[in-house]
Amino acid sequence: MEPMSGVNPNLYNSDQYIGKAMDFHCAGARRKTIFIASFDGGGGRAITSAKMAAEVEKYTGLRLSQTCKVLAGTSAGSILAAGSTFPDPAKPNDPPKTMIELTELFKTKTANIFPPMPYYRYATSLIWPYYNSTGLNNVVDNNFKELLLCDSPNDLYIPACEMSTMKPWLFSNTKIRTGGKLSITPEEFRKVRVGDVIKASCSAPTYLEPATMTFSSTDPKTNLLADKKYYFRDGGLVANNPSLCASTETFAKYGPSYNYSLVSFGTGQIPEESMIEPANNCGLLYWGVNFATVAMDMAAKITKMQLENLFVTEGEHQSLFTFQPKISPEDFTIDGSSKEHMERLEEDADACMEEHKEELRLLCEKLITEYYAEDRVQLQEF
């Protein structure tokens, strides 16, 4: 079979997994397309993701949860993913929030999560987190309250890191993958609140306290069922960009009967020249400040490289859309919350969408075409 015009030739490698992905993306136009929307972590910088996603909603005239069957978010991105699929708990019969409303949420509430702190907290943060988690808990509780993860209308994926077992956990609306032998019973799963999952994914080390969740499991020593408390840290430690997690889970769930398309909303990258390590400055002084930024930046880039093997990156059959704003080094922080800071981030998001306006146009055309297709059918799991 000859590749279609615009199809990434890497899809035609002999590797079985890549070949399977090829089958997903190179079928005829008669196949339904499942759209995946992904939101990176980044603290207050997630306002850029919300603002860019708002442009998509503006041009399609539809909520993202209407056009994208699958939603994924890490850390602050989990607030966007869950917020775009769950209704306001105070108005359960209303539709979910729009991305404009979620942009406003970050604009007005980030300062509640990361309030201005006295300078002596820099010293105490050597031992304790710089902020307590009261602000985050209040924001999450006010917007999600008792909503259950399993009730998500969309497929929802949120990663977090469990520290007592040192395993990555991937929460979804149908199951929890614990990265180990622990199995969550269906009864317990149906009790998991989406707000607790968001807190787990947002608990950034050194910034916030760990989030906790309790599950019953069998004690290997006594073989008896007992409650155990699990401690969670930020999902960004394992997948700050959850696109690959969501894509592979979706491929496995729905199989080769569909085409797939991914839109990834980033929370910014800083100019590469500002991160290049000087030859005479490669010790603790450099890495102590820049390690987390470099590690997450490199993880995001290799994730993008892997996604380019799974999706079409250009041409009329393009199925990978990534929007990553450029952010100045001084604004590249997760806890910036001043009005001026948030306004600059919004401007960065606007500049990104202007730079990629043709890609935005193509994406919106595909979303609208699929949504209003005459042969819309109920998706069937593989």
Mean pLDDT by 10 residues, the chain (382 residues): 34 34 45 94 96 96 96 97 93 92 96 84 77 94 94 97 94 90 83 96 94 80 76 94 96 93 92 60 68 79 92 93 92 91 96 96 94 63 58
- State the Cα–Cα distance between residues 25 and 260, nearest whole angstrom: 6
Task: List helix spans (H) across the chain.
Answer: 16-25, 46-60, 64-67, 76-83, 99-113, 121-124, 134-144, 186-189, 194-202, 236-239, 243-254, 284-310, 339-355, 357-371
Phi, psi (rounded to 5 degrees) for 264: -115, 125
List of long-range contacts for 352-355, beta carbons under 8 Å, 24+ apart: 352/48, 352/52, 352/323, 352/324, 352/325, 352/326, 353/52, 353/55, 353/323
Closest CA to 265 of 102, 111, 85, 53: 53
What per-residue confidence (pLDDT) applies to 226? 73
Closest CA to 319 of 368, 376, 366, 267: 366
DSSP, residue by residue, 203-265: --TTTSPPEEEEEEEE-TTT--EEEEEEEEE-THHHHSSTHHHHHHHHHHHHGGGSEEEEEEE
Contacts for 156 with CB less than 8 Å, ≥ 6 apart:
70, 71, 72, 81, 82, 85, 149, 171, 172, 173, 194
What per-residue confidence (pLDDT) applies to 16? 36
- State the Cα–Cα distance between residues 206 and 132, nearest whole angstrom: 10
SS3 107: helix
